[in-house]
Amino acid sequence: MIAYTVRRLIVLIVTLFLVSILIFAVINIVPGDPAQIILGTEATPETLARVRAKLGLDRPAVVRYIEWLKNIILHGDFGRSINYDRPISELIANRLLVTGPLAGMAILFTMIIAIPLGIYAATHHNRPGDYGTMIFSQIGLAIPEFWTGILLILGFAVHWHLVPAGGFTPWEKPLESLRSLLLPALALGFTRAAVITRLTRSSMLEVLREDYIKTAWSKGLPSRLVIYKHALRNASISVVTILGLQLGYLLAGTIIIETVFYLPGMGRLVMNAIFQRDLPVVQGVVLFIATVIVIVNFIVDLLYGLLDPRIRYD
Amino acid sequence: MTERRKHLRRFSKDINFMIGLALVGLVVFTATLSLFYTPYDPNRMEISARLQGPSSSHWFGTDHYGRDILSRVMRGAVNSITVGFIAVGIGMSLGVLLGALAGYWGGWLDEATMRVMDVIYGFPAVLTAILITSILGPGIKNSMIAIGIYNIPIFARLTRGNILSLKEQDYVLAARAVGQSNLKIIRKHILPNALSPLIVQATVSFAVAILAEAGLSYLGLGTQPPHPSWGRMLNEAQPFIHLSAWPAIFPGLAIAIAVLGFNLLGDGLRDILDPKLAHLR
């Protein structure tokens, strides 16, 4: 297990290294001059020179990359925002107070909807309940999450006035804050639930065909015990993997959902940065999200063994 | 019964395939029709008729500029289909090429290519697109490139996996024994046999491309106004939903129908072309 963890850790570091090179290269090397992109085509040569110097563009790209990476690793310093004139790490930390709980609530909704539905469909295979669940998941996969968001606003905010249509109440009033995250989290969770429902169902179907499940049934064990203790535990391996992979899509989804609901999270930060051409912020936030995705995948890999003792790490 | 008839029967008996085909057919037909006919000019504004509900003169109602929503939804289909074709085309052609080279030659070329593919694959489509459009600028062309790049590793991994198993088959070994060149073996013997999973993946990727384009256009990074795009229409409709919900309903329905169609078509094709997996559905 230790050897496996160390091996995976090395892969993790190499992947993060490649990710950072890729992001830096896209923003800094291809194509043309970032200072020109930031200032637009009408900037004077003097202003261009000033921004180039401020961004360190007068030095070779390799030197800038090493310095950027060194600052992140040693000091957690992602650089400075051009528009806000504040450290990017501080901006990310502030926005995480919205995006973090939003992603957490969305995962919670995903699991609350998907796991029972998936189990129900698998235990009612080829019966109306199964077909109904599959139709639900097909529709869920086809609806973009921002449209789900708009429909939820239409129903719960515009029509029934139960929750705000957008915006965020700061955490001084925790209940109000949670209320403002309710619809966005539901919109995000609904789409993920469609994926996880299908997966829980097919994993359960596969496990329910195994001999040990047939033995458990023939021993006369209560169905609750067979389904939840014997089957679900084994089916959960692929569910956990996909849930882990889904986190990346969830974080990307927050970018759109935060725009739909006017939430001051990381998604809005990166969108504003794109329109204001604040490239260091785009670079920092994308690297941060990519790092979270890679680390979550690493944790998911390690979780395998805990869920399924048959997996050997050699 | 002839082979051809047997094939047709298998396709026509698969309900996912048939529903998918009907929905995709509807979208493609609407897109084609809109090139020759729409009830109104999709960009024509009529302020006196703004935010109207569905009626006999405007079947889907009008938006905040008084533009006919049906006409815009119809023309938006062209946009989605074009993005789907080009983005999947970019992803498929480059992905198949890289996957074939990596899988066939193996060694360091395989290692290096697949590590880079893994890194790109880890990025969700929207994030890749955001990174690319932040540099190249918003617009339909750049969003197609971005979605295309996102698709490259998917096709590369699939092709590589297939080639690794196909290159050890007897007929490939025989072709090599009679002295055929590597490129000829890949082109004549391996790729045609790896085609089925590629077709299935292309169909599913088409759905993802439509969703990604809608998302980017909603964010203002994809198709630019006044050109109609389903995602953009939803973005423009949102500030007015307390006055009229219709502009926020029909473009969303159009996205859902198109994506559902391609997803079902992909599922159906997979069931037909890979019957081993059918018991899990």
For position B92, what pLDDT does the model report?
Answer: 94
A259 touches chain B (CB under 8 A): yes
At A139, the amino acid letter reads I
Across the range B182-189, mean pLDDT stands at 81
CB B46 within 8 A of CB B37: no
How long, in residues, is chain B?
Answer: 281
Measured in degrees and rounded to the nearest 5, phi and psi for residue A166 equal 180, 180
The pair of structure tokens assigned to B4 is: 């051809």
Look at residues B38, B191, B209 and name the one whose alpha carbon lies nearest to residue B128: B209
Mean per-residue pLDDT over chain B, rounded: 87
Tens digit of each residue's pLDDT (9 = 90 or more) over A147-191: 999 999 999 999 999 988 888 989 999 999 999 999 999 999 998
Q: Identify the pLDDT of residue B211.
A: 92
In sequence order, the β-bridge partners of residue A87 are: A80
pLDDT for residue A314: 47
Nearest CA in chain A to B132: A26
Strand partners of residue B68: B62
Amino acid at B224: Q
Separation in Å, CA of A154 to nearest CA in chain B: 7
CA A22, distance to chain mean position in Å, is: 19
Q: What pLDDT does residue A181 have? A: 94
Contacts of A61 (CB under 8 A, 6+ apart): A24, A28, A29
pLDDT tens digits, B58-98: 899 999 899 999 999 999 999 999 999 999 999 999 999 99
Select the residue of B122, B131, B135 nearest A248 (Cβ to Cβ). Answer: B122
Residue with tokens 């996969």, as numbered in its chain: A141
8 Å CB contact of B120 and A22 = yes
Q: What is the pLDDT of residues B204-260, one digit of tens each?
A: 899 999 999 999 999 988 888 888 899 999 999 999 999 999 999 999 999 999 999
Nearby residues of B7 by Cβ (< 8 Å), 6 or more positions away? none
Q: What is the ipTM of this complex?
A: 0.88
Taking a contact as any Cβ pair under 8 Å apart, which residues of chain A between 21 and 40 contact chain B?
22-23, 26-27, 30-31, 37
Helix (H/G/I), strand (E/B), else coil: A3: helix
Residues 128-147 of A with CB under 8 A from B: 138-139, 141-144, 146-147
Size of interface A-B (CB pairs under 8 A): 133
Which residues numbered 46-75 in A keep a CB inside 8 Å of some CB on B? none
CA-based max dimension of chain A: 83
| Cβ neighbours of residue A87 closer than 8 Å, sequence gap 6 or more | A77, A78, A79, A80, A81
**In contact, A115 and A122? CB cutoff 8 Å:** no
Query: Could you say which residues of chain A have pLDDT below 70?
Result: 29-32, 304-314
Has residue B6 got a pLDDT over 80? no
- A138 token code pair: 């097909």
Bigger pLDDT: B113 or B191?
B113
From the list A150, A289, A293, the residue facing B241 with the nearest CB is: A150
Note whether A258 and A268 are within 8 A (CB): yes
Alpha-carbon gap, residue A313 to A5, rounded angstroms? 9
Alpha-carbon separation of residue B166 from B170, B184, B203 (angstroms)? 9, 14, 23
Q: What is the 8-class DSSP label of residue A55?
A: H
Q: What number of other Cβ atoms are within 10 A of residue B42's Cβ?
A: 21
* Cβ–Cβ gap A142/B238 under 8 Å: no
Given this model, what pLDDT does residue B280 score? Answer: 46
Q: Which residues of B touch A (CB under 8 A)?
A: 115-116, 118-120, 122-127, 130-136, 207, 211, 214-215, 218-221, 231, 234, 237-238, 241-242, 245, 248, 252, 255-257, 259-260, 263-264, 279-281
Is the separation of the CB atoms in B114 and A14 below 8 Å? no
Q: Do B248 and A260 touch (CB under 8 A)?
A: no
**Residues in a beta bridge with A80:** A87
